Amino acid sequence: MLGLEKKDFRLLLIVIGLTLFAPFLLNPFPEGSELAQFNAGYPDLMQRFVIFGIFAIGFNILFGLTGYLSFGHAAFLGVGSYAAVWMFKLLSMNVLPAIFLSVIIAGLFSLIIGYVSLRRSGIYFSILTLAFAQMSFALAYSVLTPITGGETGLQLALSDPRIFGEAQTATGNIPVPALFGLEMRSSLEWDVGGWLFTFNAGYYLAAFFMIVAFYLAIRIFRSPFGMMLRAIKSNQTRMAYTGLNARPYTLAAFVISGMYAGLAGGLMASMDPLAGAERMQWTASGEVVLMTILGGAGTLIGPVLGAGMIKYFENIFSKINSTILHDWFAFLPDGLEDIVVAMIYPFIGKGWHLTLGIMFMLVVIFLPGGLVQGGQKLAGLFSRKKAEDNTKSSATEPAE
Amino acid sequence: MDQFILQILNGLDKGSAYALIALGLTLIFGTLGVVNFAHGALFMLGAFVAVTLSKILTLSHKVVDETRTDFLGNPLQVDVPYVYDFFGEGVGDLLIDWSVPLSILAAIPIMIAIGFIMERGLIKHFYKRPHADQILVTFGLAIVIQEIVKYFYGANPIPTPAPEAFVGSFDFGVLLGFDPNAIIYPYWRLVYFFFSMIIIAGVFAFLQFTTFGMVVRAGMADRETVGILGIDIDKRFTMMFGIAAAVAGLAGVMYAPINSPNYHMGMDFLVLSFVVVVVGGMGSLPGAVAAGFLLGILESFASMSAVIDLLPGINQIIIYLVAIIILLTRPRGLMGRKGVMEE
């Protein structure tokens, strides 16, 4: 179906199902219950899941397939956001031209940076991409203030031209991003029993783009082009001996993943029409590296899982404070309760980065294939034959 | 002319910090072949050794001073540091005042121990893994160290003053025959520069003139042959990791008065230090030091107002710009050797 093998098609269907029913799946606990704080089914977080999913899928096309570790990918996301916000300012509040332009601009930007950076490989490539991204960040933060808004970030204003749309609404407010009149922030709420499910327009738009992005990623993974990229990772020298030039392939992969980042940036701006320089900082680039590795570099579903996991931690795990912990362990005797809480406390709430760091280290040390490999190992415990199949498809050793 | 000298001086202290961190990074890379992204965290830990020591020295207990009263008329409670009890007030004050230089003594064993634990406990297992894995695991370690420090010391910068004797600035201009106040330079930065020169000279002398250093250099050139000759090179390299950690830690200790330590200072320096190492040439010690000073000085020149007027924003990007140009024109960096980190 759709030019996919049966197995891949099933994976695609699973992803489509998960994203469509996410408002249900992420809200398993009724409102007002003890566990309601673990619900992630609110629009803002769901949007972030899919947008960072797109970002990580794109990063994985570069890192997972070719093994080139870019430490500056957030720059493309930032450029995409700026492009989208400029479209909102100049053209109209329709999100489609904004997203389209952000993909194009990010693609062009990554073409330039990739053309230069890909002259080197290994750590030199990482440092070059890092240097370019930090330069973009520094410039966006200072000199390019007329274009980027500098420290305050790029924001919409009532005085913007918006030649194809309205500069301001009838009530004198700044209009909100919309898809042919369907506002991105509008939601349908469905109250069933104790549960409250929110179906957000912006989320479904982003989810649609993520499914398309995921489908394209599968096609790339299974195409002869994807095979070339894997060849670059496993042995570039041998590839050169067979008369193939690796450069165009890596550049194409770099530009594709840059465009994915641009798409993510454009969507981010569509959900909330703001763009700041901090989106381009190297810590943001580090985050997408974390997501991809944590989920499983070189696997199809891994980056999406990693992105979801990190965003879930960032938003849900970080809210747990010591009072909530005391509530949980209230059944323990007093002295023991304090000890248990004191032991757990550094790892949750504000300390979630610590948990993330430890988890990331454990994954890199024991599961180079990420959580996907972990899942496969678990599955392999139950059926031996299946494990043999899986190890073939998930060999992920980043090349130099 | 005075502006020129001033900018060179300004570049020296930042350049010394870059040079020291880059030196440690290169030591680790040259000996063990590991790309250590946690090196910035070691620099930060050094700064926090200074913070901790000054906290310990000012640890105090309350004593009721009968001669004075507070605004309610009760006898005044005064905080008396424990060091006063042990050494008397004069020596105690001196110790508190000199806590940052004193931290050097504490930092050397602590940092060497941390380096040992890191190498034996974690990095040892990554020699045979790809460089990308080494980068990732040390990056994770850096996050963990950073978060632990944040947990204990909070997220705010902690001011750690230099000794009283070094507060204030030195008027260089008078020395060179310019107007007074034309070139003034804080004493502590001067101290930092000389300190880093001593450390750099010490590391080079250690490698050049001791038997241990000779073995290490031989191991850097050809690890296998040294192993065949019956020398346990792994043990020496572990020692070198400890020394590299100590160099980063000392750089951090002395940097504490220049910039109040906070938990992410290591990451801020790390990115630049990697750029410095790559510009200097992976695996080249003199290259790392030279590139550190070069980039530090270039950075301060770029922030001169005349330059900024000409090329706005250049001060923000100069280091990266230079790195890109050098990497593209001299692929091995300034003094890189052939065959290091090349496919």
Q: Are B79 and B60 in contact (CB under 8 A)?
A: yes
- Is pLDDT above 90 for B56? no
User: Based on the structure, what is the number of domains in chain A?
Assistant: 1
* Residue A53 forms part of a structural domain: yes
For B75, phi then psi, to 5°, come to: -60, 140
Q: Supply the pLDDT for residue A212.
A: 94
CB contact under 8 A, B132 and A69: yes
3-state helix, strand, coil in chain A (%, to 5): 70, 5, 25
- The residue segments making up the domain with residue A234 are 6-29+42-279
Q: Are B137 and A359 in contact (CB under 8 A)?
A: no
Q: Supply the pLDDT for residue A400.
A: 46
For A40, phi then psi, to 5°, come to: -115, 15
CA distance A119 to chain B (A): 8
Q: Supply the pLDDT for residue A384.
A: 65
Residues of A within 8 A of B327 (CB-CB) are: 120, 124, 127-128
DSSP string covering B49-118 = HHHHHHHHHT-EEEEEEEEEE-TTSSEEEEEEEHHHHHHHHHHHHHHHHTHHHHHHHHHHHHHHHHHHHH
Q: Are B270 and B40 in contact (CB under 8 A)?
A: yes
Q: Are A128 and A136 in contact (CB under 8 A)?
A: no
CB contact under 8 A, B135 and A69: yes
Residues of B within 8 A of A67 (CB-CB) are: 132
Burial label, B180 (beta-carbon count in 10 A; 0-12, 13-18, 19+): exposed
Report how far residue A236's alpha carbon sits from residue A121's, in angstroms, rounded to the nearest whole number.
Answer: 10
Cβ neighbours for B52, distance < 8 A, ≥ 6 positions apart:
none
Least confident range from A73-82, B92-101, B289-298: namely: B92-101
Q: Supply the pLDDT for residue A389.
A: 52
CA distance B318 to chain A (A): 9
Q: Supply the pLDDT for residue B54.
A: 87
Q: What is the CA radius of gyration of chain B?
A: 23
Q: Are B254 and B112 in contact (CB under 8 A)?
A: no
* Residue A35 forms part of a structural domain: no
- Report the candidate in B1, B4, B2 with the shortest Cα–Cα distance to residue B171: B2
> What is the mean predicted confidence (pLDDT) over B231-252?
89
Report how far residue A217's alpha carbon sits from residue A54's, in angstroms, rounded to the nearest whole number.
Answer: 10
- Report the candidate in A26, A81, A56, A37 with the shortest Cα–Cα distance to residue A307: A56
Q: Supply the pLDDT for residue A385.
A: 57
Interior angle at CA B271, CA B268 and CA B275, nearest 5: 140
Report how far residue A30's alpha carbon sits from residue A292's, in angstroms, rounded to the nearest whole number.
Answer: 32
Q: Are B133 and A63 in contact (CB under 8 A)?
A: no
Q: In this predicted model, what pLDDT tens digit does every residue of B148-166 receive, in sequence order?
A: 898 888 888 888 888 887 8
What crossing angle do the helices spanning A352-366 and A282-295 adopt, rounded to 10°?
Answer: 50
Q: Which of A116, A129, A143 best tests the B interface by mutation, with the highest count of B CBs <10 A?
A: A143
* Residue A250 forms part of a structural domain: yes
Q: Are A264 and A58 in contact (CB under 8 A)?
A: yes
Q: Pull the structure tokens for residue A280.
A: 């381009």
Residue with tokens 């300390």: A351
Closest CB from B125, B271, B343 relative to A400 = B343
Q: Supply the pLDDT for residue B130.
A: 80
Residues of A within 8 A of B131 (CB-CB) are: 122-123, 400
* Residue A177 forms part of a structural domain: yes
CB contact under 8 A, B144 and A357: yes
Rounded-to-10 torsion of CA A24, A29, A30, A33: -160
Residues in B 91-130 with any Cβ partner in A closer than 8 A: 122, 125, 129-130
Q: Are A255 and A114 in contact (CB under 8 A)?
A: yes
CB contact under 8 A, A139 and B275: no
Cβ neighbours for A207, distance < 8 A, ≥ 6 positions apart:
A19, A20, A22, A50
Greater pLDDT, B22 or A320: B22
SS3 of residue A177 by DSSP: coil
* Residue A187 forms part of a structural domain: yes
Q: Supply the pLDDT for residue A187.
A: 79
CA atoms within 13 Å, Cβ hemisphere of A287 = 22
In this structure, what DSSP letter does residue A331 have?
G
- Is pLDDT above 70 for B297? yes
Q: In this predicted model, what pLDDT tens digit does every residue of B261-280 receive, in sequence order?
A: 888 888 878 888 888 888 88
* Residue A396 forms part of a structural domain: no
CB contact under 8 A, B151 and A130: no
B86: left (phi over 0), alpha (psi -120 to 50) or beta: alpha
Residue B224 touches chain A, beta carbons under 8 Å:
no
For B61, phi then psi, to 5°, come to: -125, 160
Residues of B within 8 A of A120 (CB-CB) are: 327-328, 331
Instruction: Give the predicted TM-score (pTM) of the model.
Output: 0.85
CA distance B26 to chain A (A): 14
Q: Where are the domains of chain B?
A: 2-52+111-329
Q: Pull the structure tokens for residue A313.
A: 């931690």
Per-residue pLDDT of chain A (400 residues; tens, 9 = 90+): 677 888 888 889 999 998 888 888 887 777 777 777 777 778 888 899 999 999 999 999 999 899 888 988 999 999 999 999 999 888 888 889 999 999 999 999 999 999 989 988 877 888 889 888 888 888 888 888 888 887 888 888 777 777 777 777 777 778 888 788 777 777 778 877 777 788 888 899 999 999 999 999 999 999 999 999 999 988 888 988 999 898 999 999 999 999 999 999 999 998 888 888 888 888 888 889 988 988 888 888 899 999 998 888 888 877 777 777 777 777 777 778 778 877 777 777 777 888 888 888 888 888 888 888 888 888 888 876 554 555 544 445 554 4
> What is the mean predicted confidence (pLDDT) over B115-139?
86
- Is pLDDT above 70 for B340? no
Residues of B within 8 A of A286 (CB-CB) are: 139
Pairing of strands A178-179, B169-171: unpaired
